Structure 1
């Protein structure tokens, strides 16, 4: 009995020891769990914070992406609106010369019903569009060298075959690797401007021609360059005056229209001779015709040239007569010496000569005889070796007194 009791106690003590050990183990587990729970809670806060931050960043990226896409869409819509509604033509074209895109303004400019029709029908820009096909080659050469071209002007065909002038601004489009993709450009119709420019050029040419009709070319050029009075002194020039003899009597027998037509025919023929001998017509005054040699450009043989002209004028006038068959005769006078030449007037320009030489030449004509060329001693001295001259004698010259004069008869035989 006692033995059984001892066994039970022993077993009970053993169980108590086991329970104590289990209690210790459980306490240890509890401690570990508490530590784990604390650690987990601490890490959880960190993870939660990281997750929150990551979520915030993701949300910001999503918002930014949405905003970017919205802005891109708005930009595309804005570009498309500009592209569709622009008043100037806009296009994209391949490297081979085919249209990729064209806006309505370009289609209208070239006379097509729509951009699609333009793209479908204009398949070779160089050959079909440009009046001068090489303009396309020139444009490509500029783009190859500079990547962009501004104000490239060309004449092009519209769909109906009519021609217009355009101005293009074109640039090369490349990718990130600098590979050429296509070209983009804009086009303006400059036909009206070109017409205006051509009209201005025509008017300028006309004005210059009119200026040359009243001024020697060197003087006209100077007048365009120099906004000042033009006056030059020449130490040696030869002046000729020619006058239709008995003009007053002649004018009383024919109508004013016939008279003007006759003078026009005669003086037009004289003008050709003046040009032929390299001389300068100064003016006509009624039936008087004035020419000078040796200015505005120097001419070494100005006396001889004037003498040859005078002889030619006498011969030329024999081809003219009045409607009634009356012959036309000339009275001519020549003198050589210093003169002053210049332009007078601001609205109606006139190139004229002044000086004693002019006055004496005029007196040689007015105090000469019909069908003759009267010259002074100064002219005689220059011509006597090569020309036939006959002394007239000493005459009273108005304003100059007595002067010895000569008749110029012709050139000496070789």
Structure 2
């Protein structure tokens, strides 16, 4: 058992039911810095900071004989360094109830916690810098965000000016640093420390702020009370503050200020954290320089305001985060927002959702220096209407940094509405023409070409609804039209699905052709498929509408003449013996059956089932052998 305990990589403790340590492994000794002798017979609270969290939870689980998994608990090492440990605990059964031992297995997740804290801090700072409007607004938020996200207790801003924003060139030895902003957690009592801090000044090289100022690099002090800062070491210790770090707010060679943070905990140097806050210092400096440039830009452009205000075009100026710096009178009148409302808005708040992603991409491209020609965008007015603008945007750069984009737009809403109305009328004309004529015919017709064709090989279907006329006397005209429309709409869908062309319908008769236009080799197969589908459609219609209709279908394959006649009414029709014979196949067919000629039979006999009917008399053609189409093989 001792060998197993020793070999476990995670920290292991065994305590009695009162929490006194009975056994530890080497991993636990190494993690917390105690020897085995220093831990044995000591309460587990020696290493646990959150005793009020862990111990009650263990007792509750022990009562129900359940294991406790991955409870995250703040602990302390021998040197009082804070560690976050994920404990799994279980009860070791004993014969006498109530005397059970408890097994603790802990895994150090401090590094993971620090990674998560750094990630959330970086995200929070980026968000604050993108949403804030002024330097005085952003600094307190950054101090608070760094403290809260990283778990530190107090943050300060030191600068040689009345407030941060005035840069000091080079390594100025004449700078006098003063604290101009403090944020502290409510869990510490630091009134005396703050009072001294407000009255303290540092010169370059003196104290933590002065050392960071002259080094231009982040700095970590494990215990400020032992670091020799005679001015604030004692009040820091009295406030319970120990570890400190700070970083410069630096833009290239220009330093604008220093941020310093304190913690009650003794914390080892965190190189990754120092690297991150160095980057944050650069971000803050860039924000400050950008705000300075924006302010200068607004001031320099004041003299052009009258000219812009009286322009008919819509003019806007927004900063790098999309917040409005200026819009002219025409812009306000077109969108309906007041000046006060505009100054609290972001341009992307009022861009129509369908255009937002594209406008964001264009905006970032302009900020990166790319020149973009004419752009279109849709804005939402105050009363919820959508207007369309077209114009040009460009970006102003100061010392290589983008500070504002300027746009001059025209309102093209009316023009687009007119163009849409014209397009809609054209589409209606196209749709009407396609309803009258096949697509392959309507195109040359629009080009004023004559439409006459002698087509060598097509298949024609005639269908007649049986029983419709008998029911006409007992129905109203509206009922009859609705029934017929339902049936023919189904036939039209089948025609479209099978890529065929409806030529016409007269009363309750229906005519379809396969093989023109467009030309296709399998026209007979397509017509046969549709004929079978029409039978199924009629049966389904009868079931759904409580009717007793039947369908009689005739099919013939041969040559036809196709043409558009009567250009005023745009009628497309077919002529020839093929049409007459197909019509005879339907007229002399059997109710509920599909009758085809021998030509059609020869085209389909290898793919469909037929029953020979025999010969029928066709006027002008004599006797013709016919077949009944039964189904598909």
TM-score bin (small chain): 0.5 to 0.7
Structure 2 residues without counterparts, runs of 5 or longer: 1-300
Look at both structures and tell me which one has the larger radius of gyration over its CA atoms: 1
For residues 409 and 102 of structure 1, do their structure 2 counterparts lie closer, same or farther at Cα, with a shift above 3 Å needed? closer
Post-superposition Cα deviations, 1:226-265, rounded to whole Å, max 9, x if no partner, equal 3323333321100011112365444344332222222112
Aligned to 1:187: 409
**Which of 466, 480, 495 is equivalent to 1:259?**
480
Cα contact 2:550–2:591 (8 A) shared by 1:
yes
The count of residues paired between Structure 1 and Structure 2 equals: 330
Aligned to 1:216: 438
Cα contact 2:323–2:344 (8 A) shared by 1:
no
**Which of 70, 88, 107 is equivalent to 2:332?**
107
Which protein, 1 or 2, shows the higher relative CO under an 8 Å CA cutoff with sep ≥ 6? Answer: 1
Structure 1 residues without counterparts, runs of 5 or longer: 1-75
SS of corresponding position for 1:133: helix
Task: Using the TM superposition, give the Cα deviation of residue 165 of structure 1 relative to its aligned residue in structure 2, in angstroms.
Answer: 1.9
Cα contact 2:463–2:586 (8 A) shared by 1:
yes
- Distance in 1, matches of 2:481 and 2:332, equals 59
Post-superposition Cα deviations, 1:127-172, rounded to whole Å, max 9, x if no partner, equal 555644330431452686664633x211123345543222223345
- Distance in 2, matches of 1:142 and 1:231, equals 58
Aligned to 1:411: 631
- Distance in 1, matches of 2:503 and 2:509, equals 11
SS of corresponding position for 2:534: helix
TM-score (norm 2): 0.46
- Distance in 1, matches of 2:528 and 2:405, equals 71
1:228 and 2:453 matched:
no
1:168 and 2:391 matched:
yes
For residues 259 and 112 of structure 1, do their structure 2 counterparts lie closer, same or farther at Cα, with a shift above 3 Å needed? closer
SS of corresponding position for 1:149: coil
SS of corresponding position for 2:486: helix
- Distance in 2, matches of 1:295 and 1:239, equals 10
For 1:14-413, list aligned pairs within 5 A: 82-114=307-339, 117=340, 120-122=343-345, 124-127=346-349, 129=351, 131=353, 132-134=355-357, 135-141=359-365, 147=371, 149-150=373-374, 152-159=375-382, 162-172=385-395, 182-223=404-445, 226-245=447-466, 247-320=468-541, 327-385=548-606, 386-395=608-617, 397-398=618-619, 400-411=620-631
SS of corresponding position for 1:86: coil
Task: Using the TM superposition, give the Cα deviation of residue 192 of structure 1 relative to its aligned residue in structure 2, in angstroms.
Answer: 3.0
- Distance in 1, matches of 2:532 and 2:405, equals 72
- Distance in 1, matches of 2:397 and 2:497, equals 65
- Distance in 2, matches of 1:378 and 1:130, equals 62
For residues 164 and 326 of structure 1, do their structure 2 counterparts lie closer, same or farther at Cα, with a shift above 3 Å needed? closer
For residues 99 and 261 of structure 1, do their structure 2 counterparts lie closer, same or farther at Cα, with a shift above 3 Å needed? closer
Structure in which a larger fraction of residues adopt helix: 1
For residues 112 and 321 of structure 1, do their structure 2 counterparts lie closer, same or farther at Cα, with a shift above 3 Å needed? closer
Task: Using the TM superposition, give the Cα deviation of residue 180 of structure 1 relative to its aligned residue in structure 2, in angstroms.
Answer: 7.0
TM-score (norm 1): 0.67
For residues 393 and 147 of structure 1, do their structure 2 counterparts lie closer, same or farther at Cα, with a shift above 3 Å needed? closer
Task: Using the TM superposition, give the Cα deviation of residue 200 of structure 1 relative to its aligned residue in structure 2, in angstroms.
Answer: 4.1
- Distance in 2, matches of 1:307 and 1:94, equals 69
For residues 285 and 161 of structure 1, do their structure 2 counterparts lie closer, same or farther at Cα, with a shift above 3 Å needed? closer
SS of corresponding position for 1:380: helix
For residues 346 and 174 of structure 1, do their structure 2 counterparts lie closer, same or farther at Cα, with a shift above 3 Å needed? farther
For residues 248 and 139 of structure 1, do their structure 2 counterparts lie closer, same or farther at Cα, with a shift above 3 Å needed? same
